[in-house]
Each structure stands twice: as structure tokens, then as C-alpha cells.
Amino acid sequence: MKLNERSLAFYATCDSPADNSGFLYKRGERHTAYHRRWFVLKGNMLFYFEERDSREPVGVIVLEGCNVELCDSAEGFAFAIRFGGTKSRTYVLAAESQAAMESWVKSLSRASFDYMRLVVRELEKQLQEMSRGVAAGCGGSRELPGPWKPKPPGLEQSRERLPALPAILPKENGCAVWNNVLGADRLPDTPGCGEHDGEESPRPPPLPPRRRVSNGEAASAGAAVAESPSTFCRLHEQYSREVARLRQDWQQRRRGPRP
Amino acid sequence: MRYNERELLSLARQPAEKAAEIRMSVPKKGNVLKKRLVKLVVNFLFYFRTDEAEPIGALLLEHCKITKEEENVFSISFIEEPERKYCFECATKEQCQEWVEALRRASYEFLRRSLIFYRNEIQKMTGKDPLEQYGISEEARFQLGAHRQ
């Protein structure tokens, strides 16, 4: 099978940041001697080079569908990348320290595209539910401005439905560009917004506009600058129940069969 | 370059995000379009002869550019060699548009940017970091401002 090797080599050696890199000992396939190689992890591709400054990788391990396990090897700091399937090879690697081994095991076990996609879909769902929750509480559904394009019929439950981020993505980090995107930086000030409990006065004050964060620092009062503390607390509680429930769903689904 | 071919072949047999019979040409002399079964799985595009079980080839979709060419045709090229194009002639312009959109989102780098974007948005709305529950909030690769290209 042909692979776009030139592009792969470029991807491995270009200056896009690596998710992990360092020297590891790799056990050979036929001979059990270990060879010291320079490893570079980018996304779900684990490249290995003869030397740190080699111009091209010796090889690459595609990390989809693998398990990463510690070894009880006499070599110490050893771990294995194991694939399913009967004739699959197991890659045995050894780090030069406990810390390095732990760091590699952690990053390799979460390196798959599948894992990333799972996390992204969860976050996307959370965000959509939060936005819908805000809109719905204020008199019916409404179209959100910005990147949430109206879903085309028939594609709603499609596995590949992803947010309609602009096709040409900016090269900068997300914050400065996406700052205004949702447009929902103000909670509408219609009375009756949100839930009422018995203790509230019949007409609660309008929810204050959300403070816009322009430089990416965590908005500690992000959700609402509360004039009435009970409003903020209520929202806070609401969101954390929601997040806890979503987390439970995710954990259950994770244990279940692959979709 | 060595690679774990067995695992890649196994990946090619997994359920695809998208699969279709499309006429395709590789950047070789003549650029002849041939009917292929084209299958998108994670960030790989596999292409098969329509009656064979094993792919002829696979393209890793990182650092690539998907261009809508003329009517019903799109191309994939890689940033270090922009003139070398893999061309795909679709049956309809809708099919072409769907593939262009799917392929543009098919890279690991795109997923990473989406994750950072959603994380930031959720954090702005709730004041909480949604990655904490997954235990990955400290990872460098998910920080805002990481991976400027």
C-alpha cells in the first residue's frame, strides 16, 4: 500500500509543535536488542528517527486502536504499544527515567484521533446545550448567530456533523478570533428568564449582561456578573448539574461498545 | 519509511466517516482519472480499486489543502508540494461540497483547534474548565495559544 511518505516526512520534521518528544529505546522486531531512537509524537503519529537531527524518520507508528501498557520488563521504565488482532506487532519501548516513562504513557494513550474526536464532540454537545438552555429559557427557541448554521434536514444525527467553523481557520490561537462569535454575550433582559422558585419576587431583576473577556483569561465571573447572588448561584448550580450528567453519560458510553 | 502496515490495513477496514466511488487521479504523468472506492477513516483517506479488499494507497490528511476546483471536482495537495494534486471528480456538486467539508475537518490539527475553541467558550460561559473532568486540562497541546502554525 502506498503512503504519501514525502508528506509524512515533512509533517514529522516541520516546525509544527510536537505533542511529545525524546529519546526512547525501541526493541527490535526480530532481534531483541534495544536501539536508542529519537521519538516525536504529532497527533496520532509516532515518528522515530535515528538521531535527533536526522532529516527523515526511520519509521512511524500509527496510533489508532492501540493500548499502551506498562511492562514488567527487567529493563526498567519499559512500556508497550499493543494493537488488537492476531498477528499484530507489539512495540516495546523503554524510557530513560520514571518521569519520562509516565509522560510518554500518558501522551500515547490519549494520542488517537478517536479519543480527540470523542472529547471534541462532548464539548460541542455541552456548548450547544448551554446555548440552547440560555435561549430556551427566554421565550422559545431562536437561531444562534455565528457559526451555528441551521442544521440541514436529514443530517441532524449524522455522525459526521461537526460545528460549522469557517473553512479557512485562522492561524492564531482561538481566543482573539472567536471572542465575538457566539454573539450571546448578553443574556436577554426579558423578565421571566430562567427558573423561578418560591422565594423570588414575582418579577426578578433582568439578568445583567455577561462581561466579555477579551484576552483569554478565565472569566471567573464569566457566566453572569450577578447583581443578585442568587441568580449566579442558580445558574452555577444548573450548569454543574448538567456537566455532571454529561460526564456520567460520557463515562458510560466510553465503557460501552464502540459506536 | 517503515510503518505499521498491518494496523493501517486494519484501519482501512473500519467503518468510514465517508465512502464513495469517485473518479480519482494521482499526481503522475497523464493524470488519468480512474474509478476508485475512496474511504475516509480518521485522518486517513484510503483509496481502493473497486473490486479489491486492500487499498492501493492511503493519504494522511495533515498539512494539506483541499481545493474546490472546477465543477464537481476537488483536489488534495500537501503544503510542501502544492502543485502535486490528487484530483477527485464527483458525481454531483453536492457530493463534491460534502467531501470538501468533510476532508477539511478530517485532520488531527482541526480537531485540536476545535477542542481549544470549545474549551475556551465553555470556560467563558461557566467559569469552569470542561477538560478538568477528563484529567487533561494541563496538557500543553490543549492550551490556548498552543500550536500556532
pLDDT digits (tens, 9 = 90+) for A98-140: 999 999 999 999 999 999 999 999 999 998 888 887 666 554 4
Positive/negative CA dihedral, B78, B83, B88, B93: positive
CB-based contact B65:B71 (threshold 8 Å): no
Query: Which three three-digit cell numbers place residue A224?
Result: 453572569
Query: Which three three-digit cell numbers place residue A129?
Result: 446545550
Alpha carbon distance B35, A200 (integer Å)? 68
Question: What is the nearest CA distance from A73 to chain B, expressed in angstroms?
Answer: 23
Any idea what the CATH number is for the domain that residue B76 is in? Answer: 2.30.29.30
Cβ-nearest to B2 among A42, A59, A210: A59
pLDDT digits 0-9 by tens, A14-41:
988 899 999 999 998 777 889 999 999 9
Total domain count for chain B? 1
Q: Is the pLDDT reported for residue B60 higher than 50? A: yes
For residue B79, tell me if it sits in a domain: yes
Q: Is A201 exposed, middle or buried (0-12, 13-18, 19+ CB in 10 A)?
A: exposed
Task: Grade residue A73 by pLDDT with cuts at 50, 70 and 90.
Answer: low
Question: What is the nearest CA distance from B122 to chain A, expressed in angstroms?
Answer: 6
Task: From residue A98, give the alpha-carbon distance in Å to each of A20, A76, A92, B93.
Answer: 15, 9, 16, 55
For residue B127, tell me if it sits in a domain: no
CB-based contact A81:A91 (threshold 8 Å): yes
Q: A218 to chain B: which residues are within 8 Å by CB?
A: 123, 127, 129
User: Which domains does chain A show, CATH number per domain?
Assistant: 5-114 (2.30.29.30)
Cβ-nearest to A3 among B3, B43, B124: B3
For residue B122, tell me if it sits in a domain: no
Alpha carbon distance A45, A68 (integer Å)? 14
Q: A178 to chain B: which residues are within 8 Å by CB?
A: 117, 120-121
Range of the domain at B83: 10-110
For residue B66, tell me if it sits in a domain: yes
Cα-atom radius of gyration of chain B, to the nearest Å? 18
Query: Which three three-digit cell numbers place residue A26?
Result: 525501541
Kindly provide the ipTM of the predicted complex, given to two decimals.
0.91
Q: How high is the mean pLDDT of chain A?
A: 71
- Measured between CA atoms, the residue of chain A closest to residue B104 is A167
Query: Which three three-digit cell numbers place residue A228?
Result: 443578585
- Measured between CA atoms, the residue of chain A closest to residue B107 is A113
Cβ contact, residue pair B126, A239, below 8 Å: yes
CB-based contact B38:B22 (threshold 8 Å): yes
For residue B138, tell me if it sits in a domain: no
Cβ contact, residue pair B121, A127, below 8 Å: yes
Query: Rounded to 5 degrees, what angle do the CA atoms A222, A226, A228 make?
Result: 160
| Total-model pTM | 0.68
Question: What is the nearest CA distance from A39 to chain B, expressed in angstroms?
Answer: 14
Task: Using the structure block, give the residue that is written with the C-alpha cell 532481534.
Answer: A31
- Measured between CA atoms, the residue of chain A closest to residue B54 is A1
Cβ-nearest to A220 among B2, B56, B127: B127
Q: Is B1 on the interface with A (CB under 8 A)?
A: yes
